[in-house]
Homo-oligomer: A and B are copies of this chain.
Amino acid sequence: MKRRTFLQASATALAAAEKRISGVLAPAITPFRRDLSPDAERFARHARWLLASGCSGLAVFGTNSEANSLSADERMALLEFLGKNGVSAAALMPGTGCCALTDSVRLTSHAVKLGCAGVLMLPPFYYKGVPEEGLFRNYSEVIQRVGDAHLRLYLYHIPPVAQVPISVPLLERLFKAYPETIAGIKDSSGDWRNTEAVLDAFKGTSFDVFVGSEVFLLANMRRGGVGCISATANVNPGAINRLFERWREPEADRMQQDVSATRAVVEKYSMIPALKAITAHFGKDPDWVTVRPPLVELSADQGQSLAAELTSKGFAMPRYQ
C-alpha cells in the first residue's frame, strides 16, 4: 500500500470508533460423539472454558475445528447452539469460506445476522492455480450478496493446507474496494517474511494482522499486529494470553520461549488428533478423542507419550470441567 487513500483513512477512523476483536483466539476444536455426530453440549463447554481461560475470542470452524469435515447445516446449528449456551457472538469469528460461492454466502450471512465479531474466510480451495481476479470476484460476490454493513471479513491465508494462497496484492485490492468490510488477515503461512510483508503493506491502516501460531505472537505484536489465532490456544490459552497481555514487558522473550516449547511438543504429533488427545487427558473427558474421517485419532501409545511429555513440563488445563 504505497499511499493512504481517503477510503483507507475512513476505514481507520471506523476501526478506531468500533471495538475490533484482538488478542488470542482459539480455532475451537469440535467434539464428535462415537457415531461421528457433532456434540453441541461438549462444544459449548469447551468454548466457555476457553473464554474463561485467556482467549479473547473463538475462531470456531477453523482448520483445527475440522470445519471442512462439517456440512453447512451442521456449522450453523452449532453456531446457534453456542449463542444460546453462554457464548457471546461478539467473541466469535466463525470460518465461512467454502469451495462453493453459495455456501460461503449462506454461512457468512448467517454469522453476520447472529452478530458475530467477524468471519474468517478461506478462499475457494478446490481449483488450484486460479487467477487473482477469480479470487477477488469470489470475495467481492460474497460481500455484495451478504450486503450487510456489519460484516467484518478476515482473510484466511493458509497455503500449506488450502494450497490456494492470498497474495498481498489481492489483499490490497480487496481492502481498497471494501475498506470497511475487509478487517484483516489470519496468516497461517508459517512464513514470517510473508507476515512482515503484510504488516508493512497495511501499516497505519485499520487492517488487522493475526498470526496463525503463537510462535510468531511476540514478533507480530512488536511489528504492529493484533494477536494470534492458534491451534494450541485450544489447550494452552492461559500462557499464550499472558504473553499477549505482557508483550511489552522484559520477560516477554522468556514467555515466548515457554509457549513455543509447549507447542513444539504438540507438533511432534498430528495437530488435530493431538489437541483432542490433550483435551481428553488433561480435561479428564475421554470422549474428546474422536475425530471425523479423513483424520485418525492418536493411538493409545501416542496419547500417553504426548501426555507424559507435557506433564513432565508442568503442563495443565486448570478448571477444565
Q: What is A's interface to B at a CB cutoff of 8 Å?
A: 36, 63, 68-72, 74, 99-103, 106, 123-128, 130-131, 133-135, 137-138, 141, 160-164, 292-296
Contact = CB atoms under 8 A, between A and B. Distances in A.
A126 B160 CA distance: 11
A141 B74 contact: no
A163 B103 CA distance: 22
A5 to B, nearest CB: 25
Give the residue among A74, A99, A160, A161 with the most B Cβ atoms within 10 A. A99
The 4 closest A-B pairs by CB, nearest first: A68-B126, A134-B294, A138-B293, A137-B293
Nearest to A38: B102
Contact of A123 (B72, B101, B124, B294): B294
Given A68-B127, A128-B161, A161-B128, A137 B99 contact: no
Contacts of A135: 293-294
A308 B10 CA distance: 49
Contact of A127 (B74, B164, B294): B294
Nearest to A68: B126
15 contacts: A36-B101, A63-B126, A68-B124, A68-B126, A68-B127, A69-B100, A69-B126, A70-B102, A101-B292, A124-B294, A126-B162, A130-B296, A135-B294, A137-B294, A163-B163
A160 B295 CA distance: 21
Given A127-B161, A128-B163, A161-B127, A134 B296 contact: yes
A121 to B, nearest CB: 13
Contact of A293 (B70, B103, B124, B295): B124
A125 B127 CA distance: 11
A153 to B, nearest CB: 15
How many copies the complex holds: the figure is 2
Nearest to A135: B294
A101 B133 contact: no
Contacts of A162: 126
A74 B102 contact: yes
Contact of A130 (B71, B72, B124, B295): B295
Given A74-B102, A99-B69, A36 B295 contact: no
A293 B140 CA distance: 10
Contacts of A130: 294-296
Given A127-B161, A134-B295, A163-B163, 8 more contacts: A36-B141, A68-B99, A68-B127, A69-B101, A71-B106, A131-B294, A133-B296, A141-B293
Contacts of A161: 126-128
A71 B137 contact: no
A163 B127 CA distance: 10
Contact of A100 (B70, B131, B137, B295): B70
